[in-house]
Structure 1
């Protein structure tokens, strides 16, 4: 079994994640993925004997649509996702990755070049283990994007991805993650 097959199998333990994937699939969003936190936390929960969805407060859904970079277009997608997922006991946070460069520097203090795709945004996540996204294809197959593979994820290893995110973002995530998963091994350099 490959790591990607193993990831698919582990993620099936999180019924909420599966439900979001099924519901969002019907919206036909361009280049969409459930990403990073909900995926990583599901894996770590399962590997450490916790309930798969334990402590996951939000599920980040990224998509890419450069046709309209205005807030109103993104807000329409946010509302469409809320319409199909609003009865679930979690928040689904939606972001158009084509717009990130418009607000990133104000929030994080460093400029962000425009991303060319959702995959390019995933490549820039602060920790290597969190550079992962999943979606359901129209035929129901789970598509996984994991540019660094899943070795760190399954080994409970966290190391920085120095592509974009400021060091303070990485350190903040590590501090939160260590409180919940003391089993993690953290490296401070890639």
Structure 2
């Protein structure tokens, strides 16, 4: 079982598994060409590709979009972010998937209005990834010079490969976690969804 391998072998397995999703590889390659500060391809497209491969589904099955995060706190205006979004729209044109590009330095400006709870300003793209509702989702990948993969996985990869969804109660509201977990479990019934910790 991949989730029980040493971490270096899990990293090799992660690259091999994600490489089976051709759309994901194309997004990685095109995102690298944008040269965005601190960028990562992150969220569902990564862990859901792993779930698909582990459960013998098509690698891209059930993936609704591909999220590219970057961090640029030099200009927090919507106009600056929108300029990047428009450049990305051109870069990702004619892909068979939606690609969403967001500046994580700006999230605190709109998060409470959208989700009803305040968000402490992120200090990096990694900090934004740390805030996902499930620790299983805290995963980012980017291409660096020479085509080397940089992987950010603060909670490791075992849960991802073992199909375990684990809550991340410090930053995320319980209802967000439970709604996401229920949606994922409908598509991937093999998942083991762990309960929100009592008293949180």
TM-score where L is the length of structure 1: 0.97
**Number of corresponding residues:** 190
Q: What SS does the aligned partner of 2:35 have?
A: coil
- Structure 2: distance between partners of 1:2 and 1:75: 39
- Structure 1: distance between partners of 2:14 and 2:169: 24
Map of 2:28 onto structure 1: 21
- Structure 1: distance between partners of 2:166 and 2:177: 9
Give how far 1:26 is off: 1.0
Map of 2:86 onto structure 1: 79
Structure that is richer in helix per residue: 2
- Structure 2: distance between partners of 1:163 and 1:142: 29
Alignment of 1:40-189 (within 5 A): 40-189=47-196
Alignment of 1:29-44 (within 5 A): 29-44=36-51
Root-mean-square deviation (CA, aligned residues, Å) is 1.0
Give how far 1:79 is off: 0.9
Moved over 6 A (4+): none
Give how far 1:107 is off: 1.1
Q: What SS does the aligned partner of 1:2 have?
A: helix
Task: For structure 1, list consecutive stretches of 5 or more residues without a partner in the other structure.
Answer: none
- Structure 1: distance between partners of 2:194 and 2:64: 26
Give how far 1:38 is off: 0.4
Give how far 1:102 is off: 0.4
